[in-house]
Amino acid sequence: MYYNLIAGKNLDRLAALSDGVFGVALTLLVLDLRVPAAQSVHGEHDLWRALVSLAPRLLPYLMTFMTVGIFWVGQQAQLNLFQRADRTLTWLHIGFLFVVTLTPFSTALLAEFLAYRTALAVYWLNIFLLGGALYASWVYARNAGLVKTDVPAELDGAIRRRIVIAQSLYAFGALLCIVNTYLSIGFIVLVQLNYVIAPKVAGLNRI
């Protein structure tokens, strides 16, 4: 019991572990972009055609790079608001990092089967689990008194609302695959661009 009271209290180590896992996940993503086989290239035209054929894999790569970046920023924002950690919070974040490590797989699956709804559903589920883990982390930290005392009360609602709205938009985008998977992917990319660029447009910068 005493061990549980002292375990997992170092926020700096948790942040360092997170940075390492995120860095590896981002690096693994690019491994799915394979250089064209030399034996299939006999001139500039063949090389150009081979590079163009990488487009279906390049799109999921860019999507996931933005997604992982968005969630890295979200996790860092939370860690900066915590005054301390405990064993439960640390394991919640380790669970979050476990889901991060799945992104190269879900991305490769989507790249290989871009027109398949099942592949898109798996990709969306990966995003949903990332958002769910971050939401659970914040709610637990708030209820356990781990958040800094000078954090404004309205920020609690803002963080919860941001995660819920983002996940709702991603879910809507995933549902669009009923119509067309490419339409679904296009909408998801727009959602990602909104959170990456954070345009100063009335309404958009509130989500």
Mean pLDDT of the 59-68 span: 92
40-51 pLDDT per residue, tens: 766 676 677 766
Percent of the chain clearing pLDDT 90 (strictly above)? 64
| pLDDT at residue number 8 | 56
- What pTM does this model have? 0.86
| pLDDT at residue number 48 | 72
On average, the pLDDT of the chain sits at 87
Residue spans per domain, the chain: 2-206
113-140 pLDDT per residue, tens: 999 999 999 999 999 999 999 999 999 9
| pLDDT at residue number 38 | 66
DSSP per residue, the chain: -HHHHHTT--HHHHHHHHHHHHHHHHHHHGGGSPPPPGGG--SHHHHHHHHHTTHHHHHHHHHHHHHHHHHHHHHHHHHHHBS---HHHHHHHHHHHHHHHTHHHHHHHHHHTTT-HHHHHHHHHHHHHHHHHHHHHHHHHHHTT-B-TTS-HHHHHHHHHHHHHHHHHHHHHHHGGGT-HHHHHHHHHHHHHHHHH----TTGGG-
pLDDT band at 56 (very low <50, low <70, confident <90, very high): confident
